[in-house]
Amino acid sequence: MVLEAFAPIDAQWRERLTKLDIAVDEVPKIHALDPDSVNWPPEVVADGPVPLSRLIPAGIDRHGTATRARVVLFRRPLEQRAKDPDDLTDLVHDVLVQQVSTYLGVEPEVIDPDLPGAED
């Protein structure tokens, strides 16, 4: 399902995404300190106080090994917000569009002009 949601993005942007990995975790390991007034950074896509995904930049791990940038999708929060499997695929696609746009430094509408809420 993640691959299906990512396929149209990858087809158009493959050359610029060769150093980006996609991963799935069950639940987020990040939490809002104050759920009533949370303000997530751009690398987190959330539904209010609940993170749906996070973009982790490339860097160096604690062992001194280079790491690749990766988008981590949080399975349970995404599933809880979807009405059915098609809705889940659409939601994952929209979240991936947001994350890829942050990774590339462009507006989400550049990645997917048909994104809900995009200007006509």
What value does the mean pLDDT take over residues 104-117?
A: 91
The residue ranking higher by pLDDT, 1 or 23, is: 23
Domains and CATH numbers, the chain: 2-111 (3.30.2010.20)
CA 93, 97, 103: angle at the middle one, nearest 5? 140
pLDDT digits (tens, 9 = 90+) for 60-80: 999 999 999 999 999 999 999
pTM to 2 decimal places:
0.90
Distance between CA 53 and CA 7 in Å, rounded? 18
pLDDT confidence band for 83 (50 / 70 / 90): very high
Contact 58, 109 (CB under 8 A): no
Collapsing DSSP to helix, strand or coil, 106 comes out as coil
pLDDT confidence band for 30 (50 / 70 / 90): confident
Distance between CA 59 and CA 85 in Å, rounded? 34
Which pLDDT score is estimated for 119?
56
Collapsing DSSP to helix, strand or coil, 84 comes out as coil
List the strands of the sheet with 69-74, edge to edge: 20-25, 69-74, 50-56, 44-47
Contact 53, 71 (CB under 8 A): yes
